[in-house]
């Protein structure tokens, strides 16, 4: 699995010492690739600080050609996919 694209859209500042919450979910899950979305929030004010997006692609080890996501992992990735504004499973990180 490799990152083929990473981007970040800045919305607001964070100051040293601010506690940050990060909500992580997937979008655009396909057979060989998917996007991981990172929403950054100021924990105290709940202001959205930014939005990150990472596109990951599975590759065959020998040929480096695209490969299907293994079924057991595909299911877990699909669980975290955001649909109609919500995701079945989301990960929140607090720092």
- What does pTM read for this prediction? 0.81
Which pLDDT tens digit goes with each residue over 39-85?
A: 999 999 999 999 999 999 999 989 989 999 999 889 888 888 876 55
In degrees rounded to 5, what are phi and psi of residue 88? -65, -40
**With 0-12 CB in 10 A as exposed, 13-18 as middle and 19+ as buried, what is 82?**
middle
Segment holding 7, helix H or strand E: strand 2-10
Q: For residue 29, give the nearest of 56, 61, 6, 1 by alpha carbon.
A: 56
pLDDT tens digits, 12-30: 999 999 999 999 999 999 9
């Amino acid at each position: 699995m490799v990152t083929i694209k990473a981007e970040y859209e800045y919305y607001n500042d964070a100051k040293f010492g601010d506690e940050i919450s990060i909500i992580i979910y997937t979008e655009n899950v396909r057979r060989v690739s998917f996007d991981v979305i990172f929403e950054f929030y100021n924990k105290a004010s709940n202001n959205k600080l930014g939005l990150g997006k990472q596109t990951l692609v599975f590759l065959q080890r020998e040929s480096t050609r695209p490969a299907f996501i293994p079924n057991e992992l595909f299911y877990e990735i699909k669980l975290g996919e955001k649909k109609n504004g919500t995701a079945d499973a989301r990960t929140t990180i607090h720092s």
